[in-house]
C-alpha cells in the first residue's frame, strides 16, 4: 500500500464526509492555498456553544480534501472555544500519515478555515 | 565538455550537472524548465571564473581589476543584446522579467496613463504581466481590459482591432509564448496594429527567448522583457526598449550609478542604459547569462526550437494514452512552444506531481501564476510538463508511465 495515499485517505477523497452547503448556518469562512489555488469554505451551525453541524465545500488535492473530511467528524460536537486551540499537529494526527513540508499547507487548509470561521484569525495553524 | 555546436543533442545533457542526480535510484527527468531551466557547466564555470579572477566593482574603480570586471559585464550585455537583435544601450539589466515589466509600469505608465485610458492585456498572461497593470490602473483610474482566448487557445486579431478601435488603449501587454498553453502569439503583428492605433506594446518574452529564435528588430515592440534563469542562465532579467521611449522616461529606482550629477535638491540622470540600473549591478549573473546565450547560440536556437517542437509533438501523441487526461493549448505545433499543461479526471494536479516525483519525474502542479487563465479553462489548477534542450523522448515515456501508475494508486 502507498505510504501517503492510503486506502482511507483515498476513500475520504473520493467520498468526503460533511461536504456541501449548509443553510442556514451561523458561521462561515472561505480561504485558499496561495501556492496551488485550491479553495475551501465551511458553513457551521452552532448550538449551545458547540458545533452542531458543518459542511466543507471547495476543491483540492487528496490530502486537503481527506484532512477536511476526516477532521469534520471530530469537529462536530466540539465546543467552539476549543477550535482556536487546535494546532497543526492535531489535524496531521487525524490524517495519520507523514506530511512533507511541500504538502503541509494542503493538510492544514481545513483547520485554517475552521479557525477563521470561529475566531476570525486568518493565519496558518502552527 | 566539447564544442556543443557539433554535439548530437542527446549528449548535451551531460553538460548539466544537476541532471546526473538520481532519486530513488532513478535519474532525474526534469520537465519543469518553464519554471526555471537547469544550468550547463559552461555557465557555472564562467561565473566561477569571473569570481575567482576578475571580480571588482564595475564602472567605479580605476584599477586594472575593476577595468577587467567592467569589461566582462559590458561585453556580456553586448553579447546578450546581440542574441536577441537589440542595441546594448537599450538593453537594461533587471532582477528578473517581473522587475522589467514593473519598470515600464512605473516609469512609463505613471507618465502616460490616466483616467479614462485603457490597458489591454490577455487572458493567458502570467501574474507578472497582470498585477503591475492592476496597480497602475488603481493609481491612475485607467481601465484594465482583456483579450479573450479563442476555442483554439489563441488570441484573435479581430478582437484586438475592435478594442483598439475604441481609441482609448494606451498600452498592449502580451506574452510572446504562454507559460501554460504554450501558445505562440503573433507579437509582431500585435505590435504593428497597436502602434497604428497609437498604443505602446510590451511583450513578455520570458518563455520565448529560451526556446526559439527571437529577433527584436523583426518584432518591433516598444518594450520586450525576459529573464535569464529560464534560458539556461542565472537569475537576471532584461528589459529591451526603444531608445527614444527610454530616454523620455523618468528613472525607476533612484540611487548610485543611475545619476549624472547629484545636487542637494535634485539630480540629473546617467545615460542609457545606466539611468535604469541604480545601485551595484549583478555582474556575476550578467557574465553567467552572457555564457548562457553563447551556449544557446552554439547549439543554435533553430535547432533548439526544432527539438522542443518534436518533444511536444511526441508528448501530445503519447499523453492521450492516459485514460481521463485533458490537454490544454493549441494543437497546431507551429503555434505552440515546448509546454504541455494537463489534468486527469479523479486525481488532483498536486497528487499527480507527487506521484510523478516517486518516479523522479519533475512536473509542476498548480495555477502556474496564471489564475485568470485557470478560471477561463474552468479548473483550479493543472499539471504541466515543459521541455528544454536537455530533455528526451524517453523522459516523455517515463512521464506517461508515471501517470499510468498514478491512476493505479488512485484505483482509477
pLDDT of residue B1: 46
User: Does the beta carbon of B371 lie under 8 angstroms from any beta carbon of chain A?
Assistant: yes
b/e string for A22-37 if b means 16 or more Cβ within 10 A?
beebebbbebbbeebb
The mean pLDDT value of chain B amounts to 96
Selected from 3.30.450.40, 1.20.120.1200, 1.10.630.10, 3.90.1150.10, the CATH number assigned to the domain covering B4-39+300-409 reads 3.90.1150.10
**B56-88 tens-digit pLDDT:** 999 888 899 999 999 999 999 999 999 999 999
Cell of B49: 571564473
pLDDT of residue B107: 98
Please give the tally of structural domains in chain A: 1
Cell of B412: 482509477
pLDDT of residue B3: 64
Q: Please give the helix or strand (H or E) that residue B372 lies within, else none.
A: helix B371-377
What's the average model confidence in pLDDT over B40-48? 98
pLDDT of residue B6: 66
Beta-carbon separation of A39 and B380 below 8 A? yes
- Nearest CB neighbour to B371, from listed A10, A14, A37: A37
Which CATH number covers residue A54?
3.90.1010.10
**Dihedral of CA B353/B355/B360/B361: which sign?**
negative
CA atoms of B300 and B6, how far apart (whole Å): 10
Beta-carbon separation of A38 and B411 below 8 A? no
Domain ranges of chain B: 4-39+300-409, 46-296
pLDDT of residue B85: 98
Provide the CATH number for the domain formed by B46-296 in this structure: 3.40.640.10
Is residue B5 scored above 70 in pLDDT? Answer: no
Beta-carbon separation of A10 and B350 below 8 A? no
User: Which value does ipTM take for this structure?
Assistant: 0.92
Which residues of chain B from 163 to 222 reach within 8 Å of chain A, CB to CB?
A: none
Is the separation of the CB atoms in B273 and B297 below 8 Å?
no
Which residues of chain B from 11 to 30 reach within 8 Å of chain A, CB to CB?
A: none
Instruction: List residues in chain A touching B: CB distance below 8 A.
Output: 2, 4-5, 10, 14, 35-39, 59-63, 65, 103, 106
pLDDT of residue B8: 73
Residue A124 lies in a domain: no
**B143-193 tens-digit pLDDT:** 999 999 999 999 999 999 999 999 999 999 999 999 999 999 999 999 999
Is residue B196 scored above 70 in pLDDT? Answer: yes
- Nearest CB neighbour to B348, from listed A2, A35, A61: A61
**A32-85 tens-digit pLDDT:** 888 777 899 999 999 999 999 999 999 899 999 999 999 999 999 999 999 999
Residue B140 banded pLDDT, cuts 50, 70, 90: very high
Residue A126 lies in a domain: no
User: Does the beta carbon of B409 lie under 8 angstroms from any beta carbon of chain A?
Assistant: yes
pLDDT of residue B250: 95
**Domain membership of residue A47 as a residue range:** 7-119
Beta-carbon separation of B350 and A103 below 8 A? yes
User: Does the beta carbon of B357 lie under 8 angstroms from any beta carbon of chain A?
Assistant: no
More confident residue, B393 or B1: B393
Nearest residue of B to residue A11 by CA position?
A: B410
- 3-state secondary structure (DSSP) of residue B97: helix
**Percentage of residues of chain B with pLDDT beyond 70:** 98
- Global pTM value: 0.95
Amino acid at each position: 500500500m502507498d505510504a501517503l495515499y492510503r486506502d482511507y485517505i483515498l476513500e475520504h477523497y473520493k467520498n468526503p464526509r460533511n461536504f456541501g452547503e449548509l443553510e442556514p448556518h451561523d458561521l462561515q469562512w472561505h480561504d485558499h492555498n496561495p501556492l496551488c489555488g485550491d479553495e475551501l469554505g465551511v458553513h457551521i451551525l452552532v448550538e449551545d456553544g458547540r458545533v452542531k453541524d458543518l459542511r466543507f465545500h471547495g476543491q483540492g488535492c487528496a490530502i486537503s480534501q481527506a484532512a477536511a473530511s476526516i477532521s469534520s467528524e471530530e469537529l462536530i460536537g466540539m465546543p467552539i472555544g476549543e477550535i482556536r486551540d487546535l494546532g497543526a499537529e492535531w489535524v496531521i494526527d487525524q490524517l495519520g500519515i507523514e506530511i512533507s513540508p511541500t504538502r503541509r499547507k494542503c493538510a492544514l487548509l481545513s483547520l485554517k478555515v475552521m479557525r477563521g470561521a470561529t475566531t476570525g484569525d486568518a493565519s496558518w495553524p502552527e | 565538455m566539447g564544442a556543443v555546436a557539433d554535439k548530437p543533442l542527446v549528449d548535451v545533457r551531460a553538460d548539466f550537472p544537476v541532471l546526473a542526480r538520481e532519486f530513488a535510484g532513478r535519474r532525474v527527468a526534469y520537465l519543469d524548465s518553464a519554471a526555471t531551466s537547469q544550468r550547463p557547466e559552461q555557465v557555472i564555470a564562467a561565473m566561477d571564473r569571473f569570481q575567482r579572477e576578475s571580480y571588482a566593482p564595475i564602472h567605479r574603480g580605476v584599477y586594472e581589476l575593476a577595468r577587467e570586471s567592467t569589461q566582462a559585464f559590458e561585453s556580456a550585455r553586448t553579447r546578450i543584446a546581440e542574441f536577441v537583435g537589440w542595441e546594448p544601450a537599450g538593453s537594461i539589466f533587471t532582477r528578473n522579467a517581473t522587475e522589467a515589466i514593473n519598470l515600464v509600469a512605473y516609469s512609463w505608465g505613471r507618465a502616460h496613463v490616466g483616467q479614462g485610458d485603457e490597458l489591454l492585456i490577455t487572458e493567458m498572461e502570467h501574474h507578472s504581466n497582470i498585477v503591475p497593470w492592476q496597480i497602475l490602473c488603481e493609481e491612475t483610474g485607467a481601465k484594465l481590459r482583456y483579450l479573450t482566448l479563442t476555442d483554439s487557445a489563441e488570441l484573435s486579431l479581430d478582437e484586438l482591432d475592435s478594442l483598439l478601435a475604441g481609441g482609448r488603449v494606451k498600452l498592449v501587454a502580451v506574452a510572446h509564448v504562454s507559460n501554460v498553453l504554450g501558445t505562440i502569439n503573433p507579437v509582431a503583428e500585435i505590435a504593428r496594429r497597436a502602434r497604428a492605433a497609437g498604443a505602446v506594446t510590451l511583450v513578455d518574452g520570458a518563455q520565448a527567448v529560451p526556446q526559439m529564435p527571437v529577433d527584436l528588430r523583426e518584432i518591433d515592440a516598444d518594450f520586450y522583457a525576459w529573464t535569464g534563469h529560464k534560458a539556461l542562465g542565472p537569475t537576471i532579467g532584461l528589459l529591451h526598449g526603444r531608445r527614444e521611449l527610454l530616454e523620455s522616461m523618468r528613472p525607476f529606482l533612484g540611487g548610485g550609478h543611475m545619476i549624472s550629477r547629484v545636487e542637494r535638491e535634485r539630480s540629473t540622470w546617467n545615460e542609457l542604459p545606466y539611468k535604469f540600473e541604480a545601485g551595484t549591478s549583478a555582474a556575476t549573473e550578467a557574465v553567467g547569462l552572457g555564457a548562457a546565450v553563447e551556449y544557446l547560440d552554439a547549439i543554435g536556437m533553430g535547432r533548439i526550437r526544432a527539438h522542443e517542437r518534436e518533444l511536444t509533438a511526441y508528448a501530445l501523441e503519447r499523453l492521450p494514452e492516459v485514460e481521463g487526461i485533458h490537454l490544454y493549448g493549441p494543437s497546431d505545433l507551429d503555434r505552440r512552444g515546448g509546454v504541455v499543461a494537463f489534468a486527469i479526471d479523479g486525481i488532483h494536479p498536486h497528487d499527480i506531481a507527487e506521484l510523478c516525483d516517486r518516479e523522479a519525474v519533475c512536473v509542476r502542479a498548480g495555477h502556474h501564476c496564471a489564475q485568470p487563465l485557470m478560471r477561463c479553462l474552468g479548473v483550479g489548477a493543472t499539471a504541466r510538463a515543459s521541455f528544454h534542450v536537455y530533455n528526451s523522448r524517453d523522459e516523455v515515456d517515463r512521464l506517461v508511465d508515471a501517470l499510468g501508475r498514478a491512476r493505479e494508486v488512485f484505483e482509477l
